[in-house]
Structure 1
Amino acid sequence: MADIQALLSALEVFTQTPDKASLDKANTWLQDFQHSPAAWSTCNALLLSPDAPPAAKLFASQTFRAKVTYDLNQVDPSQLPGLRDTLLTALKNYQSGPRAIIVQICLAVAGLALQYPAWENAVQTMITTFGTNPETVPVLLQFLTLLPEELHTNSKIPITDYDWNERITNLLTKNSKQVLDLLSMYIQAAGVTVEVQNQVFNCLRSWLLSGEVSTAEMAGSPLLGFAFEALASDTLFDAAVDVICDLIHETQEIDDNMPVIEMVVPRAIALKPLLNKHKDNPEKIRGYARIFAEAGETYRMLIVHHTDTFFPIVEALVECATYPDLDIVPITFPFWARLAQVIGKKSSVPPLFVQAYQTIMRVIIGHLRFPADSSPLSGQEADDFRSFRHVMGDTLKDCCEVLEPEACLLATYEMITAGLSNNASTLSWQEVEAPLFALRSMGAQIDPKDNRAVPKIMDLIPSLPNHPRVRYAALLIISRYTEWINMHPEYIPPQLQYISVGFQEQDADVNAAAGQALKWLCSDCKQHLVDVLPTLHNFLNTSGTKLLQDDRRMVYEAIAHVISAMPMGKAAQSLKTFSLDILSQIHAVTSKAVQATKQELKEIGDGLENLEVMLNVIRSFGEELPAACHNTCKEAWTIFDQFIVKYGTDADLAERVTRVLRHGLSFFDTAVREIGAAVVARMSFAFEATGFSSYLWIAGKIIGRFGDQEDPELRGSFQEIYERSTNNLASTLQVKAAGTIPDVLEDYLQMLIQLVQQAPDIFFQSSVFLTAFRASTAALSLVQADTIFAALDLFRMILSHDCLDPHPSKQPPPNFILYANAIHNVIEIGGSEFLGYLLNGLVGDFPPESDSMVVSIFRSMSTIWPSLVLTWTPLVLHQLPTSAAPNPIKENFLSELTSAINEKRFDQVKYAVISLHRASKKVRERRKAGALER
């Protein structure tokens, strides 16, 4: 009674609105309870008690299912018949529902049948027990529906492959004919209810999809005919559609299933007239569309090779695609794509298919049309429609595959010209915009050498109506056709003019499209645009100032592409021209006696972003910098240094400036060495003042690039930032949880990794090594995968360093002794704490891909410090939460680890660690599943 009362109290928490702590506490208690042996009897009492609350009964049924899956080893084999009878009794008691409880008990029975070989006639037992009484037949059908799904998909049940195969044969394969006969009998029994007939269909699908009932067996039963007849019933329609679609899908092996296909296809084709009959019923049309689409996809090769017989399926799908409901139209899209893959490879396409795809192309372009201005779409509707247009665009590409891009482009072009030839007063922008969108979608298919269709489109663009949506669509066509324009440079001036006008529009979308078009034009046609660069520079300093930052950034990106195509000397001078605009602005704001305004700082941030974009595109001029760049590195750093001093405490600006510095490091490369020490020193002081991780990030990049240089000034700056940032981080971790500064820890770790690799003497011989080790250990408590990987990588480098090798293949460097002594000292002091974090993470939040790194670290520690590992591990395991690693799992790990170390079989440490991880993972998954069910 105490257990029952405690269980009811825990469940009661979920019916209230308590704080998260109370919910977590109740959930943890329930999960622990589900693991306990006492749960069997407690849940049995609750399940059979008429007075128990509904939530308690449902939880009891869920617990039975979970314990049969995970904990059947808690039941003595002699008690298994009693457990089976308990579950069957519960099913009888709940034959009227709730369905959720019936489902859980059926799953428990299925799991028990799989693990209880002595119950040889489990299916027959269920049929005998529940199959003769009309009131219990629904329970039987629910069990038979779930049985194949559970046995084929529940990988958590602990059973060997051999035993699984044997039980599948006994439970499913040997009973498939009996089940099929039973379903055939039930579906046409006198007085059968619609609910039972729907259950029959669902059960049939389960056995069909699992492969336990073959397509030939189903086709040879009354169920095939009844499925098609059931389409006339509103209440059976959906279930019948599902069965027919599944049957068709299972006949994919055409040669093996021709007798079945010959029975199915005529029945399917006979449904075609119903598309018109039920045109006002979208749900019916959806079902028919699913059947035709499944038939089309499955039998597409038959459609190609036996067109006369199978083409009515294509005609039906054309009709479905024409339907105005845009939730139904996409059901046909996979068919058009897969059929195009087949016939698009043929030297000539049969006329029937040409006509079908021509129709589909026109239909899709019609569906692309936005509603009239008098009935606009709402915000979410508009977003959904825009997304769906791109899906439809993919089908237009399929049309190009069959009809050839040139033919599709010309046909779409003619739609536009036909619309433009109408009375201007009656012409709607929607009528023009839809085929323009189609031209954009089909642009990916065009031949850059096309001289018939694309020139007509390019000539048409400047004469299109001046409507924002039309101009937006036309600009995006230019974006898509820039490879063609590159091969026809005579079209650059008019398109550049059209783009320029787009920047002058008041519509933000049009501005963005103009920026996109300019970016791609400059990217693909850069060698033709070198002479336009002064014009672009003038544009940026005049009209460009009115653009939104996103659009200005794209213009700068476009300019960078043009610069990258120029000869190096000229490119360097051009880059300097555009960069100086931005650097002068930064210098001017920094030099002001008063603090800059928010607007000024925003403009600086935008300028830094634009400079970053340019450097990212241009990347580098190589090791030999052009003359224009000789002094730029030092001059630019002077400006940035002063700016960081004054405004480096602004997080956004710090992020922006360090991103530019990162690209500057790649761009100037060896020239950075001259200022490297000053940059690292500034990063050190800036991090100390702000705690911003980006300053450590840049320091790490410079250490990675120049860490192996014998430059006293550089090395001094490396040691300074290492020691100052370590002490600063250690102080921060005294007042802040590691989880609040994951970005700082990650960039700190990456900096340390560079030090270990490039300057190990600085890393190991510094007085802060122990502090750095402990600070890095804190990162193992985080959930961010990148940070955990960085920490594990660092520890693996430390604990497997060559200086620890007792039998080196060659004479080690003299300072290896100093490194080794430092590592030994750190492990002796902080090793126990580190081991605790490592095992906590292994059974907790470490990403799955980290297993090999943990194994490597554990093996190194076990090899070098075996006695310490054996001393620390029991205490660490005791502190691990039992919710993540129950005591039997801990004991097994300790036993395997102890044997491996004592017998000096250090390779076996790997299996101990992996076993611990896998066992704890199963525990976590089980607890998570229990939490989700509630």
Structure 2
Amino acid sequence: MADIQALLSALEVFSKAPDKVSLERANSWLQDFQHSPEAWATCNVLLLSPDAPPAAKLFAAQTFRSKVTYDLQQVDQQNIPALRDTLLTALERYHSGPRTIIVQLCLSLAGLALQMPSWSDAVQTMIASFGRNPVTVPTLLQFLTLLPEELNSNTKIPVTDDEYRERSAALLTANSKQILELLSMYIQAAGVTTAVQIQVFHCLRSWLVAGEVSAADLAETPLFAFAFEALASDALFDAAVDVICELIHETQEIDDNMAVIQLIVPRVIALKPQLLKERGDPDKIRGYARIFAEAGETYRLLLLQHTETFFPIVEAIGECSAYPDLDIVPITFPFWMRLAQNIGKKSSVSPLFLEAYQNLMRVIIGHLHFPADTSSLTGQEAEAFRSFRHVMGDTLKDCCFVLRTDTCLLAAYELITAALARSPEAVSWQEIEAPLFAMRSMGAEIDPNDHNAVPKIMDLIPSLPNHPRVRYAALLIISRYTEWINLHPDYISFQLQYISAGFEDSDQEVSAAAGQALKYLCQDCKQHLVDFLPTLHAFLSSTGSKLAQDDRRQVYEAIAHVISAMPMERAAESLRTFSLDILGQVHSIANRQMAPTQDDIVNVNNGLENLEVMLHVIRSFGEELPAACQNSCEEAWLVFDSFLTKYGSSYDIAERTTRVLRHGINLFGDAALPVAPSVVARMSLAFDATGFPSYLWIAGKIIGRFGNEEDLNLRGSFREIYERSTKKVVALLQEKSPGDVPDVLEDFLQMLLQLVEHAPDIFFESPAFPVAFRASMAALTLIHTDIIFASLDLFRIILTHDCLVPGATVPPPKFPLYAAAIRGVFEKEGFEFLGYLLSGLIGDFPEDSTSAVVSIFRVISFVWSSQLLSWLPAVLQQLPTTAAPNEAKTQFLSDITSAVRAHEYDKVKYAILTFNRASRKVRERRRVALDR
């Protein structure tokens, strides 16, 4: 009774408006209860008690299902038949509902049947118990529907592959014909209700999906004809569609199922008139579209081999594609795509298919039209329609595959020219924009050497109406056709004019499209645009300030592509020209006496973003810098140093400036070495003053690039930032939790990883090492994949360092110093470190981190074996049983102890994997419980 009362109290929490803590506590208690052996008896009492609340009865049924899946070993073998009888009794009691309880009990019986070989007649038992009385037949049908689903989907049931194959064959395959006979009897029984007929269809579909009922066997039963006849019933329609689609799918082995296909296809073709009759009912059209599309996909080869006989199916699918409801249209798209792939492999194509794809192309372009009143669409509807247009664009590519791209492009072109031939007031912008969008979608398929369709499209663009949606579409055509333009450079001058005009449009989307078009034009046609660079520079000088930053950034990116195509000296001069414009802004702000306005700061940040994107595209000039760049590194750093000294306390400025510095290191390479100590020193002071992680990030990049250099000033700067930043990180962790500063911890770890690799003497010999080790342990508490991997990498490098491995050769002179430092730190921090490591292993560490944990644990068991065995019991005691059951902890401690005492350190790996597997099983069980 105490257990029952505690259970009811925990469930009662969910019926109120609980706070988060109460909810989590109650949920945790219920999950622990489900694990316990006592849950069997308690749930049995609740399930059969007429006075128990509905929530308690449902929980009891769910618990039986969970325990049959995970905990059947808790029941003595001789008591398992009694458990089965308990479940059967409960199912009998609840045969009239609620359905949720019936489902859980049926799943419990299905899982039990799989694990109970002695219950050899499980299906017969259920038929005998529930199949003779009309009031319990729905319960039987529910069980028979769920049985194949549970056996094929519940991979958590602990049976071997051989046991599964044997029991599955006994429960499903051996009974499939009897199930067909049973369902045939029920579907046409006197007085049968529509609800039962729907259940029969659901059950039949379940066995079809499981592959346990063959199409040939089904065709010999009354169920076959009834499924098609049921389409005339509104109530049975959806269930019948599901069955017919699965039946067609099961005949995909065409040669083996030709006799059944000959029965199916005439019935499917006979449904074609229903598309016109039911045109006003989208739900019916959706069902017919599913049937026709499934038949079309399954019988594609027959369509090609016997086109005239099967072509009505293609016509029906075409009608479904033309239906105005755009939720239904995409049902047909996979058919058109796969048929196009098949047709593309044939040497000749039937005119019927050519006509079908021509009609499809016209239909899709029609669907591409925006509504006459675009304000009628909500924001979400408009976004959904825009997304769907791109899906329809893929179907236009299928049309190109069959009809040839130039044919499709000319068809779209003719739609536009026909519209333009009418008086302007008689033409809507939608009539122009939709074919333009089609041309853009098909642009990926054009032949760069085309001399037929694309020139006509290029010549058409100047005569298009000056409507923002039309200009937007035309600009995106230019951006898609730039590979063709590269081979036809005579069009470049005009395209630049059209793009420039786009930047001046008041519509932001048109301006953004112009930026994209310019970027791709410069990227693909850069060799031809070198002489246009002064024009682009003039454009930026005159118009650049009027552009939105996103558009301005795209212009700079475009210019960078052109610069990258120039000879090196000229490229360097051009980069210098554009860079000095931006650095001049930075220098002006840094030297201004009065405080800059917010607009000034925004403009400088935008300029730095533009410089960053240029450097990202150009990347590097190679080993030897051109003359124009010889002194640029020192000059640029003087500007940045002054700027950061004054404004480095702004987070945005810190982020943007360090990103530019990162690309500057790539550009200048070894030429940046003279300024590297000054850069690291500035980063050290700036991080100490602000705690911004970007300063650590760039320092780590410099250590990675120049860490092997012997320059004393540089190495002094490494030591300075190591010690100063470690002290700062510790101070931050005293004020905030690790979860509040994940970016700081990540960049700190990345810097330490560079130090330990390139400057181990600085890393291990500094007094900062013990403090950095402890600070880095905080990262193990975060739920962040990249940070966990970085911290595990750092600890693996430290704890597996060669200095700890005794060897016959003479070690490097500093190895004893490193070893002493590592041993001293680990002997002090090891207990807490083990706690973090194991908590993460059974908690939130990413799955791929297990190998790093194994490496770390293995070296601990070898180097600190006695400490490990003394620490481990208390560490395991701290781990929550919700993630690591007591039996798993005991087993792990035993396995580790045995491995250490026998000096069989390779067995540590298997101990950790076993422990992790046990924990993962418990966590998965809890996750499934939460999902229900």
Q: TM-score scaled by structure 2?
A: 0.99
1:895 aligns with 2:876: no
Query: For residues 204 and 268 of structure 2, what CA distance do their matches in structure 1 show?
Result: 19
What secondary structure sits across from 2:695 in the alignment?
Answer: helix
Residue in 2 aligned with 1:238? 238
Q: Which residue in 2 is equivalent to 1:820? A: 819
- Name 1:541's counterpart in structure 2: 541
Q: How far did 1:347 drift?
A: 2.8
Q: What is the match of residue 97 of structure 1?
A: 97
- Does 2:460 correspond to 1:468? no
2:869 aligned partner, one-letter code: L
Partner of 1:906: 905
Rounded to whole Å, the distance in 2 between the matches of 1:91 and 1:504 is 73
Aligned-partner Cα distance in 2 for 1:399–1:353: 10
**Structure 2 counterpart SS, 1:111:** helix
**Equivalent runs, 1:415-564 vs 2, <5 Å:** 415-564=415-564
In 1: Cα distance, 2:806 partner to 2:49 partner: 68
- Aligned residue for 1:850? 849
Deviation at 1:378, TM superposition (A): 2.0
Whole-angstrom distance in 1 between the partners of 2:552 and 2:714: 38
- What amino acid is aligned across from residue 388 of structure 2 in structure 1? F
> What is the aligned partner in structure 1 of residue 873 from structure 2?
874
User: Matches of 1:373 and 1:337 in 2, distance apart?
Assistant: 32
Match of 2:357 in 1: 357
The answer for the alignment partner of 2:920 in structure 1 is 921
Q: Does 1:834 align with 2:833?
A: yes
- Taking structure 1 as reference, are residues 687 and 375 closer, same or farther at Cα in structure 2, changes over 3 Å only? closer
Q: Deviations along 1:223-249, whole A, 9 cap, x unmatched?
A: 111111111110010011011111111
2:297 alignment counterpart: 297
Post-superposition offset of 1:375: 6.2
1:425 match: secondary structure? helix
Which residue identity lines up with residue 184 of structure 1 in the other structure?
S
Looking at structure 1, the residues matched to 381 and 665 of structure 2 have their Cα atoms a distance apart, in angstroms, of: 47
Farther off after superposition, 900-909 or 520-529: 900-909
Give the Cα–Cα distance (whole angstroms) in 2 for the partners of residues 741 and 108 of structure 1.
Answer: 47
Match of 2:65 in 1: 65
User: Equivalent residue of 1:620, what SS?
Assistant: coil
Partner SS for 1:252: coil
User: Counterparts of 2:185 and 2:385 in 1: how far apart (Å)?
Assistant: 47
1:189 deviates by: 0.7
Q: Bigger shift: 836-845 or 797-806?
A: 797-806
How far does residue 802 in structure 1 lie from its aligned partner after superposition? Answer: 1.5
Return the offset for 1:374. 7.4
SS across alignment from 2:425: coil
Displacement of 1:303 after TM fit?
A: 0.8
What is the match of residue 858 of structure 2? Answer: 859
1:529-551 Cα shifts (integer Å, max 9, x gaps)? 11111111111122121111111
How far, CA to CA, are the matches of 1:607 and 1:220 in structure 2? 76
Aligned to 2:396: 396
C-alpha distance in 1 between matches for 2:900 and 2:728:
39
**What is the distance in 1 between the residues matched to 2:651 and 2:29?**
43
CA shift for structure 1 position 391: 0.3
SS in 1 for 2:235: coil
Residue type of the alignment partner of 2:490: E
Q: Does 1:931 align with 2:903?
A: no
Question: How far apart, in 2, do the equivalents of 1:375 and 1:908 lie?
Answer: 68
Worse-superposed segment, 127-136 or 541-550 = 541-550
Matches within 5 A, 1:495-894: 495-807=495-807, 810-894=809-893
Deviations 1:15-49 (A, max 9, x none): 22222111111111111111111111111111111
How far apart in 1 are the matches of 2:731 and 2:501? Answer: 57
| 1:481-521 deviation line (CA, Å, top 9, x unaligned) | 00000000000111111111111110000000000000000
- The whole-number CA distance in structure 1 between the counterparts of 2:617 and 2:346 is 42
* 2:221 is aligned with 1:227: no
Letter in 1 for 2:866: S
C-alpha distance in 1, partners of 2:857/2:212? 47
1:121-200 mapped onto 2 (5 Å cutoff): 121-200=121-200
Question: Partners in 2 of 1:304 and 1:859 — Cα distance?
Answer: 63
Partner of residue 378, structure 2? 378
Q: Residues of 2 paired with 1:458 and 1:45: CA distance?
A: 80
| Structure 1: unaligned runs, 5 residues or longer | none
Q: Match of 1:14, SS?
A: helix
1-side partners of 2:891 and 2:463: how far apart?
79
User: What pairs up with 1:19-38 in 2 under 5 angstroms?
Assistant: 19-38=19-38
Alignment of 1:51-62 (within 5 A): 51-62=51-62
Separation (CA, whole Å) in 1 of partners of 2:116 and 2:101: 22
Q: What CA distance in whole angstroms lies between the structure 1 residues aligned with 2:364 and 2:735?
A: 61
* Deviation digits for residues 848-877 of structure 1 (CA, Å, limit 9, x no counterpart): 111111111111111222111111111110
Amino acid at match of 2:458: M
Aligned to 2:78: 78
Shift of 1:308: 1.7
- Secondary structure of the structure 2 residue equivalent to 1:192: coil
SS at match of 2:624: coil
Counterpart of 1:601, as a letter, is: I
Partner Cα separation in structure 2 for residue 283 and residue 465 of structure 1 = 40
Q: Name the SS for the 2:426 alignment partner.
A: coil
Partner residue in 1 for 2:328 = 328
CA-CA distance at 1:820 after TM superposition: 1.4
Distance 1:533 1:131 in 2: 84
Q: Return the alpha-carbon distance in structure 2 between the equivalents of residues 137 and 628 of structure 1.
A: 88
**Deviates most, 364-373 or 260-269:** 260-269
Query: Comparing 354-363 with 730-739, which one deviates more in the overlay?
Result: 730-739
Structure 1 Cα separation of the partners of residues 33 and 649 of structure 2: 52
- CA-to-aligned-CA distance 1:459-495 (integer Å, 9 cap, x gap): 0001100000000000000000000000000001111
Please give the alpha-carbon distance, in whole angstroms, between the structure 2 residues aligned to 1:97 and 1:606.
Answer: 65
Residues in 1 aligned to 2:112 and 2:505: alpha-carbon distance in whole angstroms:
71
Greater Cα offset, 339-348 or 518-527: 339-348
The worse-fitting range, judged by mean Cα deviation, of 657-666 and 4-13 is 4-13
- Letter of the 1:35 partner, please give it: H
- Say how many residue pairs are matched: 932
- 1:584-603 CA-to-partner distances (Å, cap 9, x unmatched) read 11111121112211111111
The residue type paired with residue 310 of structure 1 is: F
* Deviation of the 1:88 alpha carbon: 0.9
CA distance in 2, matches of 1:556, 1:326: 40
Q: TM-score, normalised by structure 1?
A: 0.99
Task: Give the stretch that moved more between structures: 889-898 or 727-736.
Answer: 727-736
Partner Cα separation in structure 2 for residue 310 and residue 901 of structure 1: 72
Distance 1:557 1:90 in 2: 71
* Unpaired stretches in structure 2, ≥5 consecutive residues: none
Partners of 2:921 and 2:598 in 1: CA distance: 53
| Greater Cα offset, 441-450 or 224-233 | 224-233
- TM-superposed CA distance for 1:376, in Å, is 3.5
Taking the aligned partners of 2:766 and 2:689, their CA distance within structure 1 comes to 22
Per-residue deviation, 1:55: 1.2
> After the TM superposition, which of the residue ranges 279-288 and 818-827 deviates more from structure 2?
818-827
- RMSD (CA atoms): 1.1
